[in-house]
Structure 1
């Protein structure tokens, strides 16, 4: 019972800190996913552009950031960013070390990683659109902006939801690596609590349970979004029949 009180919300309990750390983990992951969506859209457009130079750059990006270990990228962004910020500070007359904020560094690093995966998701979603629909839209004189808004964007979104759900889960787990920067997210807080109380098994199990809760709730959200996106699509309805 004494051990269980450590994960409670009373005096000496770590429950509130662990829940807040889970919230920070969600914030980092959501920010990283948004950053990755912007990067992924640009990279996917480059790979689909038909321009050899742009496609090559897009392929290099996805190859590098899907092949290099995530922890290495986090180190490069955090320490490299801190060095850059320090250099800028010295140029402006400030003496001393300026560290890059852990939240920004972590979200940017995970966002860059997720952007490589989202680029492939968006590329595959675009290629899943029926070419006949695009040709028909061009034949009736629909201009590019309208074609993108009425045909391409809704279908890319619909086809991309399952893949984006997988990228979200990947980013959620990658956020645990941000603990090396000192950000008090779920993994870091579990480590601190375990070290402070010497209850390593208890707090790492609790941390794992909280991660499972977050991933399970995320699955429900993305499954609901997928059902909602497919609701008005006859082909999807026929496929499920």
Structure 2
């Protein structure tokens, strides 16, 4: 293997791959709060019942039944088309949607649909005793959620949310098809310029793997921190 292909400067592609990795991480980090917010709102709507529950169910069913790439194309082309139709009466300029913004919106919608199911399952797994005790003491429902149920809810949901984060990091590669210079696209550009597909795709593979391994380590530490008492805390359903 010609490792000089990963050098910095005009003769190598190391700086381009690092820049693409930066965009990949920025896209994932920008999408995470959007997806968690949508997932939390959808979970809250589900437990309100009535039309709100049907709305939440329609959202999660549609998202989980639609390929991520198709969602990306619909957002990238559909939102731009909608903006142009809304602005066509006042302005004649064509409005295009940024690939980064389209990636945040589409991946955020996907993450929110799956996060809603994870949060709903975690909430339904909570014990009723602490909730009933808080309500008996005169606490409002949101106070019970924030002061009593939030920590065990996060403890139960973190494994599932951690898996969603890993999927999100890998799904950012889809945005390369709409010309965002992320890690995957820069690897593809390097392959086209050097005719070294195995070398560069394997390099990109190891970079994604390294990011996922670092994320798993951080998620494991976060799960320990959410346990009562940290490492010495009580395991769910067990003893100290």
Q: Same fold (TM over 0.5)?
A: yes
1:113 aligns with 2:110: yes
CA apart distance, 1:90? 2.6
Aligned residue in 2 for 1:70: 68
2:158 and 2:223 in contact (8 A); partners too: yes
Aligned residue in 1 for 2:199: 202
1:229 aligns with 2:213: no
* Distance in 2 (alpha carbons) for counterparts of 1:21 and 1:84: 30
1:24 aligns with 2:20: no
Aligned counterparts, 1:148-167, within 5 A: 148-167=145-164
Aligned counterparts, 1:15-94, within 5 A: 15-49=14-48, 51-94=49-92
CA apart distance, 1:162? 0.8
State the Cα deviation string for residues 2-44 of structure 1 (Å, max 9, x = none). Answer: x311112243211111112112111111211211111101111
Q: Which runs of 4+ in 1 moved over 3 A?
A: 237-241
**Cα RMSD for the two superposed structures:** 1.8
State the Cα deviation string for residues 96-141 of structure 1 (Å, max 9, x = none). Answer: x321000000011001001011001111111122101100111112
Which segment drifts farther, 172-181 or 224-233? 224-233
* Distance in 1 (alpha carbons) for counterparts of 2:239 and 2:92: 63
**Structure 1: runs of 5+ lacking an equivalent:** none
Aligned residue in 2 for 1:141: 138
1:36 and 1:111 in contact (8 A); partners too: yes
1:231 and 1:237 in contact (8 A); partners too: no
* Distance in 2 (alpha carbons) for counterparts of 1:23 and 1:129: 38
**Structure 2: runs of 5+ lacking an equivalent:** none
Aligned residue in 2 for 1:104: 101
TM-score, normalised to structure 2, is 0.93
2:228 and 2:234 in contact (8 A); partners too: no
TM-score, normalised to structure 1, is 0.92
Aligned residue in 2 for 1:11: 10
The number of equivalent residue pairs is 238
2:99 and 2:178 in contact (8 A); partners too: yes
In structure 2, relative to structure 1, the CA distance for the partners of 1:240 and 1:215 (3 Å cut) is: farther
